[in-house]
Chain A
């Protein structure tokens, strides 16, 4: 099966490419990039005139809820949502039921995704058994089973000694630790960012320092143990500063932020909208500015969605009772493209953060269109104007603060190992 993508603006930061070119795919692999390429007999052709052709986008932080919580999302619906959002790969977090803390669960996810999914799924194993925060998981076997990192995402590893040992042990096994940086004693019963908005609307606040302190602790543990670390969902100016300074010292730290942290402030919580409730919470304008600055200067390596589907019943409740998290796979691309139109990032930098860097951080062997590589490709229509309509979202869950937003930019085609898995109608 051959595929020719003609006349698109091919943007591949992995080979510093940005030009109007054709891409020829042969048998699931990139065969050639050049001008005036001819379609071999029987090849499918995509006219990409006016579109961007980029290495398949990678979301390095999603919750697929499978196994165990399939009423929110499953591997099939989640990877279809990914494809519709332009993602060819997703990295799923281990807080499933049961937890991804053993070979069997990791294997189940990989096999189901391979057989029924519309995107690559790379599981993350847990740092501790059952996310209990006490006993280290079998990281060696998890890596062999196909896990690309370990994390207790959803909660921090409270015990600093255990975190230290996990970083050391994981380094020995050649697997990356992703930290969910949160000092729980400072969070208490908080449900939104602590600031003027929480004061006015009377919701219990979560201070930024709860994230800053935990980021600082884990970055220092990584520095002390000479281990790499990746900081998930950075939302505060303080975390950005800590990571920037650590990078300057040569600490092997990488990090990600999510589109909502550079798009919204805690003003979105006014009206007690439970779709604006997530953890970490939406912060204030100064944090949004710091996140953008961190993206621009390279402190923040990746944009990931923290796609967190929840059933309607879990959000259609009073604010304190609502679950944390929002879906993100289908809105990430247009929201992130705003960084380009706003002059925060160049399009090359954006593609780096949405494809090349996540691949490099996790060793996914993706994020490139170099000849010979797997043909995961996203064709982006940067002009597509559309409205975020819950009835048209592919994800099983509709918990998004962006419902009703008019946005620009969409995946026009998503190609997984040479197969077109999504085409925009």
Chain B
């Protein structure tokens, strides 16, 4: 079996195909644990994991916490309102103080792109896992998305994946583009030009489409992104009503995709904006399956940065 040599998992851009395959296949093994009555193995017993979330999160933080606990690690959650960040402590000082308590893994979400590299430079000997950094990457989301696609199609190679929405501000899109390109999928991007960053077509095996219809035509996967009012500012679109008309997924335009196409969304969903409820709750939706796979993928990530071996 391939070896995983990274101390940290900060971006899928930093991983090669073999490493991504390894993480996905480990996640598949972890899934078996999650289906047991007693969902706990001793693999990371004695390891300390700190979940350091500077941005709000329900799904990701809970998922990482459950993943750590199922591997028997001790997990501690820190959120800004309960931390020294509100007293003005710098990230560097937070890192040094946490390091003094000798954690094994820090799982961080932070609003500033690249802040995990900074954290890592301050925390030698401790693994850093990125649970989302600004508008850069969200590697666990990218991995769980790929695992969900692989479950459905048995492969990633040759899949046509449409990603629709605010590409500029999406860390989910960046991680998916990096991962899917390495795994041999084709990515088609669509969104209003105000939400398409310069050079997006050079990010990987990417085609920037002129319309949503063009992107989802004959797609195997339609991934809709959340409209993130908090990151966007106010000048990128007229309003949610117009957005949903031209860039929302509904039962009508979903027919353009392949008949067995799967629909995905990283959540939380703005129902009626980027996706109609009929699609969210419809038969082609794999949104909850994504959440389920999230736990297994995060178990695999925690496991590999600790350099452990499967029993």
Chain B residues near A204 (CB-CB < 8 A) = 135
Contact A202 B136 (CB under 8 A): yes
Taking a contact as CB atoms under 8 Å apart, the answer to whether A201 and B199 are in contact is no
Within 8 A of A (CB), among B170-201: 171, 174, 197-200
B186 to chain A: closest CB distance in Å? Answer: 19
B113: which of A188, A196, A313, A319 is its contact (CB, 8 Å)? A319
- Tell me, in angstroms, the Cα distance from A194 to B199 when the chains sit together: 10
| Residue in B110, B113, B168, B200 whose beta carbon sits within 8 Å of that of A201 in the complex | B113
A318-B136 in contact (CB<8A): no
**Contact status of A317 and B118, CB under 8 A, knowing A200-B199, A272-B113:** yes
Determine whether the beta carbon of A202 is less than 8 Å from that of B134.
yes
- Choose among A198, A271, A313, A319 the residue that contacts B197 (Cβ–Cβ < 8 A): A198
A205 sits at the interface (CB 8 A): yes
The interface on chain B, measured as residues whose beta carbon lies within 8 A of the other chain's beta carbons, has a size of 27
Which residues of B sit under 8 angstroms from A194, Cβ to Cβ? 198
Instruction: Note all chain A residues with C-beta closer than 8 A to B137.
Output: 202
Whether a CB of chain B sits under 8 angstroms from the CB of A195 is: yes
Q: Among the interface residues A188, A194, A201, A321, which one has the most CB atoms of the partner chain B within 10 A?
A: A201
The answer on a CB contact under 8 Å between B199 and A318 is: no
Produce 1/0 per residue, B133-145, CB < 8 A to A.
1111100000000
In the complex, chain A residues whose CB is within 8 Å of the CB of B118: 272, 317-319
Instruction: Check if B238 is an interface residue, CB within 8 A of chain A.
Output: no
Contact A205 B198 (CB under 8 A): yes
- Partner of B114 from A188, A195, A313, A319 at Cβ < 8 Å: A319
B80-121 contacts to A (CB < 8 Å): 90-92, 110-115, 117-118
User: When A202-B174, A203-B114, A271-B117 are in contact, do A316 and B92 touch as well, CB less than 8 Å?
Assistant: yes
Tally of chain A residues near chain B (CB < 8 A): 21
Task: A271 to B200: give the CA distance in the assembly, Å.
Answer: 19
Using known A-B contacts A317-B90, A317-B118, determine if residue A199 contacts B136 with beta carbons closer than 8 Å.
no
Contacts of B283 in A (CB 8 A): none
Query: Counting CB contacts under 8 A, is A320 at the interface?
Result: yes
Q: How far is the CB of B80 from chain A (nearest CB, A)?
A: 14
B203 and A188 contacting across the interface, CB-CB below 8 Å:
no
Q: Which residues of chain B are near A205, meaning CB under 8 Å?
A: 197-198
Residue B46 interfacial (CB < 8 Å): no
- Shortest C-beta distance, A380 to chain B (Å), equals 37
Are A199 and B203 interface neighbours, CB within 8 A?
A: yes
Q: Complex formed: what's the CA distance from A313 to B90 in Å? A: 9
Q: List B residues at the A interface (Cβ < 8 Å).
A: 13, 90-92, 110-115, 117-118, 133-137, 168, 171, 174, 197-200, 202-203, 233
Can you offer 10 A-B residue contacts whose CB atoms are under 8 A? Answer: A196-B202, A199-B168, A199-B202, A200-B203, A202-B137, A202-B171, A203-B114, A203-B134, A272-B117, A320-B111
Which A residues lie at the B interface, using CB under 8 A? 188, 194-196, 198-205, 271-272, 313, 316-321
